[in-house]
Amino acid sequence: MGLESIRDGWYNEHMYGVGNRTIDELEQDLLTCQRTHGELWAGQLELLRRLDLGQVATADGSRTMIEWVASRLDVSHPVARDLMFLAKADDRWVEGLLADGRIGLERAVLMTRLRVAGASDGDLSASLGFDLAGLERLVAARKRIAVSDETATFADRYLVMQPNLDESAWKLWGLLPGMDGQLVEKALLEKADGFQPLPGEGRSQRMADALTAVCLDSLTGSSEGREVTVAEVFIDAALAAPTAGEAGVTLSSGLRAGPNLLSEILCTGKVRIVFTGDNGQPIGASHLSEAIPPFLLQRTE
């Protein structure tokens, strides 16, 4: 049965209530889809090898073939990296298993990595009996890490934080050794899992929020029961009131604050509101609070 027949059968059964396919038939249809996936992936690998030889990435202005593949196939960079790894490895035995539908793309990548790490044909055949997690452990066990490489990776670790001119946005990038990177990722994922995702919000946004939250936990967790002021907000009421907080609001660091930043501050901890007069001098301050004055959140007529 081809993919078109499977699609039409599913559509008829679910949209019109007709069809009486058994569980076994549905399972066979699923396996047919998987075999077709494998055939297509194997075909893509051959095409990628030829395109790579033709330097298509350079001709299209991409920095790397991985970048080009991610853009052209609309896949993530990790998937594009795996496809190019398989294409360059050119392991026809593994690709044959993939084309026959006996293995999926993830297993093909792991088996090829196992081959690169020095595994024999017998080792590769035996690896078919492992689940993906077990296969990952086999690959990790065979991978050799030279002392010099490990030392260099540790020595090259860095983290850079670069603000723009008015510090309204920051860029972060860096390099961590493997274990440190896993610890950071695990901490951020666990923190991000506790957030309620907003409409249209992706994983990268939640990870960014998680980084801020973890840092905030570090600051407030060391207060030993004392109230910690996350930020002092300076408000020029003459400017802030008619603009609903879009103007006239700054933090003690000098950073300009808008309504979204004010909302974020309230979600992360307590603030102290400092009101300023026409000359910019403080004319009053509130106690630690978890609320911004209402006139900042709603425009006045």
Give the tens place of pLDDT for each residue, 34-43. Answer: 889 889 999 9
Above 60 in pLDDT, residue 51? yes
**Residue that wins the pLDDT comparison between 88 and 11:** 88
The pLDDT assigned to 279 comes to 56
Give per-residue pLDDT as tens, 107-161: 999 999 989 888 888 888 999 998 998 888 888 777 766 667 667 877 888 999 9
82 by Cβ neighbours in 10 Å (0-12 / 13-18 / 19+) ranks as buried
Give the pLDDT mean for 161-173: 88
Cα of first residue to Cα of last residue in the chain, in angstroms, is: 68
User: Any bridge partners for residue 272, and if so which?
Assistant: 232
C-alpha to C-alpha distance for 215 and 210, rounded to whole angstroms: 9
Nearest-5° angle of CA 185, CA 187, CA 192? Answer: 90
The predicted pLDDT at position 111 comes to 93
Q: Which helix H or strand E contains 171, and what residues bound it? A: strand 170-175
Provide mean pLDDT across the span 169-191: 86
pLDDT at 22: 83
- Residue 58: which residues within 8 A CB-CB, separation 6 or more? none
For residue 97, pLDDT beyond 80: yes
The number of residues making up the chain comes to: 301
